[in-house]
Chains A and B, each alone.
Chain A
Amino acid sequence: MTDTPPCPVMSVPRREAHQKVTGRAHYSSDILLPGQLYAGILRSPHARARVRQVDDCAVRKVAGVRDVITPGDDPGFYWYGEQVPTLGEELRFVGDEIAALTADSEEAATDGLRAFAVDYEVLEPVVGLDDAARDGAPLVYPDKPGNLAAKPRIYSRGDIKAGFAAAEVVVAGTWTTQTALHNALEPHGCNAWWDGELLNLWVSTQSIFTVRDNVASKLGLPLNRVRVHAQHIGGGFGAKQVDWKPTVIAAILARRSNRPVKLMLDREAENLAAGNRNATRQQLRLGATRDGRLCAIAATIDIDGGAYTLGGENSMVAGCYQQLYDCDNVYTEQRQYYSNTGPAVAFRAPGYVEGTAALEQAMDDLARELELDPFALRERNYSSRDQMRDKVYSSPEALRRCYSAARQDFDWPVRSQPATPRKCRGIGMAASVWPAGSRNPPAYATVIVQTDGSVSVLSGTQDIGTGTRTVLAQVAAQALDLPVDQVEVVIGDTATELYAPPSAGSATLATLGPAVHAAALEVRQQVLTLAAQELKAELQLLRLENGTVAGTAESPAVPLRELAGAAPPGSLRANSAIQSKPGAVATCTFAVQCAEVEVDLDTAEITLLRLTCAPDCGAVVNRLLADSQVIGGVTQGLGFALTEARLVDDATGLVLNANLEDYLVPTAADVPPINHAVVNLPDVSENPLGIKGLGEPPMIATAPAIANAVRDALGVRLRDLPLTRRRLLEALKQSGTGR
């Protein structure tokens, strides 16, 4: 097969942008089916309680209510590692599911939910890490002593004692990160419709195949009788990778009623029960020599896992400690606790955002202690190996390129002057690593040249907003040398049976792109073979260029359209699969960020002045879309740094801000200019396209870069995120700088 060069960087507009800007893109929440019923879920108002009785008599009398299911209608399968029924009597967080109903309208469903009379035995909840770990704390699960979700996860390399003994400088501290909520604008939800024995689900999900497989296994259906559709998805950020209870509840209610059922979470339920980023407490010690060589890194990490454990949530808070810097002596210990709060689930770079927040602030402290430029300290501890996996990085120079791109773009260490003496300005930087690449294969794709020469790409992936359709179209168009608008990409339907992994781990394009590429190359070969026959020309002399087979001197040029028309329908097609391969190298992506802030000494207001992010994603396929991902990730990161936190009442476990009024995500007024300093470094050891993926890296280093800039501006270090004004004011008062 001919080798084509990696895709050139282009700025192709998003393929589905037209549908999205005209309101015609159909999301799960927009599906309206004839005769549809609306479902609602009754949720626990208590953080920990036992249901003595559910009285639904009044509910059934509400006009428009059609059906009710309560813990008594237990469907007989379990969640979260076999422990928990779908509708439970043992309630473990505010928002836990108790009962569900269907009604003719949403209004009637709301009336119905209000009419439940539930008798609760309210129990003392476990709220937060301190509470979970204290002696005599109530147990979230009676068989989990100390509320520990699992055995502590310990990692160690070298000799940590000897490392600290060799250290001439030690920086230590305890850092905390908060529980953060995804708040994808489209809530979790599902439309379920039984077409005879075939269950159709329109789900807002990051993984249509995960939903299909898990729903089928729970309901005891053959896989080919569950069809999951997801044309457009209103964001996910990690929370929509698993099959949540509402999907299954909608399917059950639809079967019982024999009508389509829509079950969308409202914002409160979304914020209570659809996952979050774990809160952490990290006790961290860094030891270094006077000239700035790290000789020991030790961290003890406590994690608030909430009431239930879901996939991918927190396993790798220690990852950055183990991977980012060259250090022979590393010891990390992670302990995950249960508490009576909503479940933790993967959230954009899970674990790495939390760990890097602490590590990169500690590195900043170390640089100050050593009177070293923070870039210089990092370059002194540069690692071209992944010491955690004991393999060389697939692009060992990538992080170095990120450092220089960020430095140059930001014009480090140049800073501007504050307008008044009661304002201070500061600059900060931070680096990050993320295990990316072609994760979670296999991935399948089909490329078809239709009889009119147009091209279809099929795969069972989905687009959560990253631009999957567009970049896959580019990959196919490039391999076939066609204008990109001649390629249609069909995704979001399990009925294609072209399995694709979850849209997660920044891995979609890196995993699926090579499959599309290989299939398209094979189709190109089929086209050329056909042309050779038709033109009676030698195959090697023919080329497919810009939608035309350019021939030799004797044979005329033939448009693809004509050639394809001469072939039997469906004959110009190829399937391709990407399977997992043994990795001789460690594939990671890196990013470096810089921030400049201004802080008002009297009000503690932090104004972001500018941000630069230099991420390594291997080859950049679409500059316009890459910019969007970078500014989007940084924007989420600045929310995590400054304003976002789920607030829970210590005594009762009630969530105080399960809405978008009091849970503060950034607005247009909060974002400064965000520069994407492009590092376009194709990583062909990973795949022929050199792609590694870009979703997560831009978020990881944002919070520590901002925190370091605030430290630079004020001379005080806050060790707790987010950097709220109250915390800053207290710190300023203590340091004598503030009022």
Chain B
Amino acid sequence: MEIIEAQSGYTSFTLQVNGQRYALNVEPRRTLLDALRIDCGLTGAKKVCEMGNCGACTVLLDGAAVYSCLVLAVECEQRQLTTIESGATGNTVGALQRVFIEHDALQCGYCTPGQIMSLAALFDRDPSPSEASITEAVAGNLCRCGAYRHILQAAQSLAAAGANAAGSEDD
């Protein structure tokens, strides 16, 4: 592993993102969002409000959806981070990506990574969530293009598929 010399006022640590290690040497005040975007080069999570109001920066921290603009990168050492870039491997994120495309649950796409990550946390807990819990899961993710109706439909289609899968297991 690369050995990093800490500059004064900086701190060195590693982040585990999507199963990969990233070595960081940053000021302790660096947010997780900036660390992901600048230090890890993972720009999927977006910076919109930096105040926990919009959800565009949502990532999973040990499986829970968090606003990465409100978390410090140093707090995430030794913890599992999952971002939108993890989706290629056919997991929940991947399934959500598929239904988002099918339902055109996006326009400019700037809020989209955050929407998907908020839903991924929900679907990881419950593969067939109710309409109400879907709405609740994304109620903190603003979309100025107003793609909400399609976002909700996309998630509901995945929930229905999840419910079917659960039903067939019971048979």
Contact = CB atoms under 8 A, between A and B. Distances in A.
13 contacts: A19-B109, A21-B109, A23-B44, A23-B113, A184-B144, A267-B51, A464-B108, A632-B146, A667-B139, A667-B141, A669-B139, A671-B148, A671-B149
A22 B97 CA distance: 7
B104 A185 contact: no
A627 B50 CA distance: 31
Interface string A606-644: 000000000000000000110111011111100000000
A26 B43 contact: yes
A22 B45 CA distance: 10
B13 interface: no
A631 B111 contact: no
A106 B106 contact: no
B41 A465 contact: no
Given A186-B110, A465-B107, A628-B106, 17 more contacts: A13-B101, A13-B102, A23-B85, A23-B87, A32-B38, A182-B144, A186-B46, A186-B108, A234-B108, A235-B110, A235-B145, A267-B48, A267-B51, A466-B107, A635-B149, A667-B139, A669-B139
Nearest to A271: B49
Given A185-B144, A668-B139, A266 B45 contact: no
Given A631-B150, A665-B144, A107 B29 contact: yes
B53 A660 contact: yes
A232 interface: yes
A22 B44 contact: yes
Contact of A631 (B44, B138, B142, B149): B149
A interface, size bucket: 35 or more
Nearest to B48: A185
Given A13-B102, A21-B97, A661 B84 contact: no
Contact of A234 (B88, B104, B109, B147): B109
A107 B84 contact: no
B146 A30 contact: no
B53 A661 contact: yes
Interface in B109-142: 109-113, 116, 135-136, 138-142
A30 to B, nearest CB: 4
B100 A17 contact: yes
A185 B88 contact: no
Nearest to B115: A668
Nearest to A21: B97
A29 interface: yes
Nearest to B111: A185
Interface of B: 27, 29-30, 34, 37-38, 41-51, 53-54, 56, 83-85, 87-88, 96-97, 100-102, 104, 106-113, 116, 135-136, 138-152
A40 interface: no
Nearest to A19: B109
Contacts of B96: 21
B34 A106 contact: yes
Interface in A641-658: none
Of B34, B54, B100, B149, most buried by chain A (CB within 10 Å of CB) is B149
A256 interface: no
A373 to B, nearest CB: 29
B92 to A, nearest CB: 13
B44 A235 contact: no
B54 A185 contact: yes
B109 A18 contact: no
Contacts of A186: 46, 48, 108, 110
A16 B101 CA distance: 9
A14 B102 CA distance: 9
Contact of B104 (A29, A32, A625, A671): A625
Contact of B87 (A22, A25, A624): A22
A237 B85 contact: no
A187 B110 CA distance: 10
B109 A465 contact: yes
A309 interface: no
A508 to B, nearest CB: 14
Given A23-B85, A267-B48, A464-B108, A235 B101 contact: no
B146 A232 contact: no
Interface pairs A-B: 10 shortest CB-CB: A23-B44, A635-B146, A465-B108, A20-B109, A234-B110, A632-B146, A23-B84, A465-B107, A30-B43, A660-B53
A112 B160 CA distance: 52
Interface string A513-545: 000000000000000000000000000000000
A700 B152 CA distance: 24
A107 B102 CA distance: 40
A237 B53 CA distance: 20
Contacts of B27: 105, 107
B145 to A, nearest CB: 5
Contact of A267 (B50, B116, B135): B50
Contact of A668 (B41, B45, B144, B152): B152
Contacts of B141: 667-668
A674 B102 CA distance: 18
Contact of A187 (B30, B48, B140): B48
Contacts of A20: 106, 109, 112
A660 B96 CA distance: 26
B148 A624 contact: no
Given A22-B87, A30-B37, A667-B142, A628 B147 contact: yes
Given A21-B97, A26-B43, A107-B29, A634 B146 contact: yes
Contacts of A634: 146
Given A183-B144, A665-B142, A21 B100 contact: yes
